[in-house]
Structure 1
Amino acid sequence: MSKMIPVDSTEFLKDRNEQVMLLNDAFADGDPSVIMRAFALIALAENKNKPQMAEECGVSRSTLHKALSIEGNPTLSTLIGIIKSLGIKPTFELA
């Protein structure tokens, strides 16, 4: 029987360009859980301290934790706080 080797996916997200590609793909997918998982993975890759990140977002740690979970459905202000905390500048274009 073959052995499964654990892989830390955040290792692939140390590069900011990889993070942008992940977010673009997540938003193209359109599934909110995929989008929030992408933000959570980027936060892990950036070694963001959750208490500090929550403070930067203006929310409690539990609210941030819930927002970054697969079941998360953050308010717009929480999402904007997450984006700012991660140092991301969103851009938009016509479809």
Structure 2
Amino acid sequence: MTIKLKRWDSAEHLQTDEDIELYLQACFEEAGDDAAFIAKALGNVARARSMTQLAKDTGMGRESLYKALSGEGNPSFGTILKVTNALGLKFNVHLSDDSDPKMA
């Protein structure tokens, strides 16, 4: 008996806005200071939503977006902002539990 395995693709499981929100929250918690991890997570969301539509909405080339959001690219913060805005995502900033109270 032969078992066929398929590579896991997060984008296939991001079907609702809630799925995307929870996925990105988990990615931000897991990533620490790994910007490539977040870029890859945004790439997964972009593929789930439609990379072609994202390219139109951002005015960027589809191939450029695939590269920038592959986890191996190094997108500028401007690119990240364009992508998050086009995807309808908003950042929510708050102090972590382990932050220095003197910094607040």
CA contact (8 A) 1:58 1:81 kept: no
Superposed, 1:19-58 pairs within 5 Å as: 19-28=20-29, 29-30=31-32, 31-49=34-52, 52-58=53-59
- Secondary structure of 2:51's counterpart equals coil
Q: Is contact 2:37–2:71 with CA below 8 Å preserved after alignment? A: yes
Aligned equivalents of 1:64, 1:75: Cα separation in 2: 11
Corresponding residue for 2:82?
Answer: 81
- Alignment RMSD: 2.1
**Aligned sequence identity (%):** 33
Letter in 2 for 1:39: L
Q: Which moved more, 1:65-74 or 1:8-17?
A: 8-17
What corresponds to 2:3 in structure 1?
A: 3
Q: 1:58·1:78 contact (CA, 8 Å) conserved in 2?
A: no
Unaligned runs of 5+ in 2: 97-104
Aligned residues: 93
CA drift of 1:13 comes to: 0.7
Change (3 A) 1:47 1:58: closer
TM-score, L = length of structure 2: 0.72
Which segments of 5 or more consecutive residues in structure 1 lack a partner in the other structure? Answer: none
